[in-house]
Every structure is written in structure tokens, then in C-alpha cells.
Amino acid sequence: MAEPQGLKILTYPDQILREKAEVICDIDEGLAELADKMIITMQDAPGIGLAANQVGALRRIIVFDGNPSKPGGNPRVLINPEIVEKEGKIVHEEACLSVMDFSAEVTRSEKVRVTGVDQTGKPIALDAEGLLAVCLQHEIDHLDGVLYIDHLSSLKRAFYKRKLKKLLSGD
Ligand code: NI
């Protein structure tokens, strides 16, 4: 059997990254296949999380590493994820597979409770803190068309836009 292939990751300023993903009603074979491919894509990158918008699918599904401090060991799928509780503040240096050559500190909630269903349709309630909490907030933002750079000051965002322009023009 052929090895499943990873997917192409869209990068800023691709407009699909700005769209809101749709709630998933049916967990069918196509969705299971998308989830598998997203996990491969995340691990190949490598990254600790990936949202469907990033591979051009506007559906509310994310994959992430359940143990992000030791990536690769515990890939998980969350469908229709929602943050239902949050607590505290954490500042963490973030990067994104869709935002080339950049990272910046973002302030988010330190602890979150996230609900959703897994790829078998089983309801999930996940209490996360630290890096995992940051990762989940970052990925759920993607499903709403929000990128981590949107949380930065306009000055820092302008800096990144200039940097990207230079990068893309090959200077
Ligand atoms: Ni991202």
C-alpha cells in the first residue's frame, strides 16, 4: 500500500487562512482521511499543531501533539474544538507553519478547557496548560481566520510584513 502523502501548507497572506472554518456535522471517511493527512503534514513540517485552514480545508478540525514538549509521540485530533474555560495569562514565543520565518511573543490564557469530539465521534474535554494550552488557542484561532500575528502590536505586524516582502522579492 502506498504511504499516505502530506498536504501543502498554505502561507500568509493566503486568503483561505482568513476564512472561518465550518462546523463539522458528519465524521465520514473523507474526514478521517483528512485527519490522517493533517497529522502526517504536521509531523513532516515539523510542528506541534495544524488547523484545517492551513491545508485549504475550511472545516473545524485541528491536529496537535498531546505532549508538545516531546513532539512526535502523541498526535491527537480534535473536531469542532471550543474553549469553554480559561484562566491566567502566559507569554510564549509563537511561530506558525503558515507564517514564514518569524516568531514573536504572544500573551494568551495559561490554562484552558477545550471540548470537542475525536475522530471516532467520542466527546472530549481536555484541560491544558502551558505550551499545550498555547498550542490549542493558536490552532482554534486558525479556524476563525485568526493568525498569531493578529495578537501583536501594529508596529510588530508592520515589521513582519516588510520582512516578508523582502523575503518574497528575494532581496
Ligand atoms: Ni499556526
Q: What is the pLDDT of residues 98-148, one digit of tens each?
A: 999 999 999 999 999 999 999 999 999 999 999 999 999 999 999 999 999
What's residue 5's pLDDT?
A: 79
Ordered by start, the domain boundaries in the chain are 15-169
Distance 42 CA to ligand 1 centre (A): 10
What residue ranges in the chain does DSSP mark as E strands?
49-51, 61-65, 75-87, 90-96, 99-108, 111-117, 123-129
Instruction: Give 113's strand partners.
Output: 85, 127
CA 156/CA 140 separation, integer angstroms: 22
What's residue 113's pLDDT?
A: 98
List 33, 82, 93, 139, catalytic entry: 139
What's residue 73's pLDDT?
A: 80
CA 120/CA 51 separation, integer angstroms: 18
What's residue 69's pLDDT?
A: 78
CATH class for domain 15-169? Answer: alpha beta
pTM of the shown model? 0.94
Does the pLDDT of residue 3 top 80, yes or no?
Answer: no
Distance 1 CA to ligand 1 centre (A): 31
Distance 99 CA to ligand 1 centre (A): 7
Count of CA atoms in the C-beta half-sphere (13 A) of 10 = 19
What's residue 68's pLDDT?
A: 79
What's residue 158's pLDDT?
A: 94
Distance 158 CA to ligand 1 centre (A): 19
Q: Is 29 a catalytic residue?
A: no
Q: Where are the alpha helices (DSSP H) in the chain?
A: 29-44, 130-143, 154-169
Question: Percent of the chain at pLDDT above 90?
Answer: 89
